[in-house]
Amino acid sequence: MSLSPETDFQHSPGAGVKSARYRNLALIMGFGVFASTFAQAGVLGLYPFRFLLKDQLHEGPFRVALFMQLAAMPWNLKIIAGIICDGLPLFGSRRRYYLLLSTLLSGLLWLAVACVPPAFNSLVVMATIMNIALVFVSTVAGGLLVEAGQTFQASGRLSVWRVVAMNVASLGVPLGAFIATRSLAITAVAAALPLFAVCAITFFHYREQPVVRRDPRVWTGIREQFRVAVRSRALWAAAGLLFLVQFAPGFSTPLMFYQTDNLHFSENTIGVLTLVDAIAGIAGAFFYGYFCRRFSLRPLLYGGILFTGLISLLYLGYNDFHSALVIEAAYYFGYALVQMPLYDLAVRATPKGSEALGYSIIISVWNWGILCSDLIGSALYENKHCDFKQLVWLNSATTLAVLIAVPFLPKLLVDRREEEIPLHAP
């Protein structure tokens, strides 16, 4: 598939041209999502950082979780990047130059991380700065997704493409586990290469029309953008639901300690498990492309939250490698499938004209829920002597409690299939 430099959606082209533009924008968005996901400290860097902290710096579960969440803090403030991208054009562009500069800078910063002395404070500072640059890569990709999703009434299908790109990028987790015992420089080079590749693709193939907005309200300034977002009931209802789903006390970091301390899994064994997770997640994401065109979003949300709460109970049987293999494959297949309605909801709820800003608000709130989840779960595991399987029960119960919030979502968003959604979000 060739990349066309034309990315302007303002006109009403013929079906063939329109289809080509849709594919081209989806492809560019997918490259950006892949690179900004793969290179995160919590993806490729997850196990290299975790094992460095646990084995070399002798940190406990809470401090390991704290490091990862501090490094990921820029993702919780993604709204700022959304404001900048939507409201402050760079060289007359809302997307191209932000994508060029952020991919180049984040790649260089990853290389700089490898030069930092192995200490908690210095590593977390550099990882945080690197993630700031990655947030801009992700924000631009999110803005492209929302524009194309709303223009072509394809929020569900593009969300599938986004999650597929994220799940392919999540292969960085097993890759990171396999190289975790090696020099951090190897991880840094592996993270930087796809970022430099996206920078090159953007430079040679992605062109953007001079800044012209379908909705002139965004050009009245940042204050107007906030006014639109604050008054959007759909946006805050969606953000609130996503926060509640993610807020359930998590067991991500405790699982790593349980695997190594209780089950005595090696780095390579964990790498195999995370590879299976990624493949299962990719398979699960494809199924939503079928469901989103046949059912309205409300039953998919009910089913997704219910299934998320129940499928986590599989971890109660997590006792050895063979059970871990089956449980993680089933869980991540189901988890990818049930997360899709939440991504779909985020796209539908984003106000027209502030795509990067609105989507960033929703995803930032989501990320705050993830931060709270991992820290609370790790604190309970380490300080309150809550064992791993007790955490599983707690996570399941609190997730299922979120079902009571679904009836409060706006009907315009959740009671229609994606082809029936109006072009203008509420």
Least confident of 13-27, 105-119, 173-187: 13-27
H or E segment to which residue 241 belongs: helix 233-247
Angle between helices 120-151 and 321-348 (to 10 degrees): 50
223: pLDDT strictly greater than 60:
yes
pTM beyond 0.95: no
Per-residue model confidence (pLDDT) at position 102: 92
213: pLDDT strictly greater than 60:
no
421: pLDDT strictly greater than 90:
no
At 38, the amino acid letter reads: F
pLDDT category, 424, cuts 50, 70, 90? very low
216: pLDDT strictly greater than 50:
no
Non-local CB neighbours of 368 within 8 Å, separated by 6+ positions: 76, 243
- Fold for the domain defined by 19-208+219-420: Growth Hormone; Chain: A; (1.20.1250)
Per-residue model confidence (pLDDT) at position 425: 42
What DSSP assignment string belongs to 281-296? Answer: HHHHHHHHHHHTTTS-
H or E segment to which residue 28 belongs: helix 15-38
153: pLDDT strictly greater than 60:
yes
Least confident of 70-79, 207-216, 383-392: 207-216
At 301, the amino acid letter reads: L
| 29 vs 319, more confident | 319
163: pLDDT strictly greater than 80:
no
User: Any idea what DSSP says for residue 93?
Assistant: B
Across the range 118-132, mean pLDDT stands at 91
**Most confidently predicted of 191-200, 210-219, 276-285, 415-424:** 191-200
Helix (H, G, I), strand (E, B) or coil at 202: helix
167: pLDDT strictly greater than 80:
no
141: pLDDT strictly greater than 70:
yes
SS (H, E, C) 40-56: CCCCCCHHHHHHHHHHH
Q: How far, in Å, CA of 19 to CA of 3, rounded?
A: 13
What pLDDT digit, counting tens, does each position of 57-80 carry? 889 889 998 998 899 888 877 778
Per-residue model confidence (pLDDT) at position 9: 38
> Contact 247/308 with Cβ under 8 angstroms?
no
Q: What is the mean pLDDT of the chain?
A: 79
Least confident of 189-193, 265-269, 339-343, 396-400: 339-343
| 278 vs 113, more confident | 113
Q: Domain extents for the chain? A: 19-208+219-420
Per-residue model confidence (pLDDT) at position 7: 39
Per-residue model confidence (pLDDT) at position 386: 83
At 244, the amino acid letter reads: L
What DSSP assignment string belongs to 334-348? Answer: HHHHHHHHHHHHHHH
Nearest residue to 45 via CA among 64, 26, 17: 64
87: pLDDT strictly greater than 50:
yes
Residue 90: phi and psi, rounded to 5, are -110, 110
What pLDDT digit, counting tens, does each position of 332-381 carry? 888 877 777 887 787 777 776 666 667 777 877 888 888 888 888 888 88
329: pLDDT strictly greater than 80:
yes
Q: How far, in Å, CA of 346 to CA of 418, rounded?
A: 13
Nearest residue to 293 via CA among 403, 406, 421: 421
413: pLDDT strictly greater than 90:
no
User: Any idea what DSSP says for residue 258?
Assistant: I
Per-residue model confidence (pLDDT) at position 423: 42
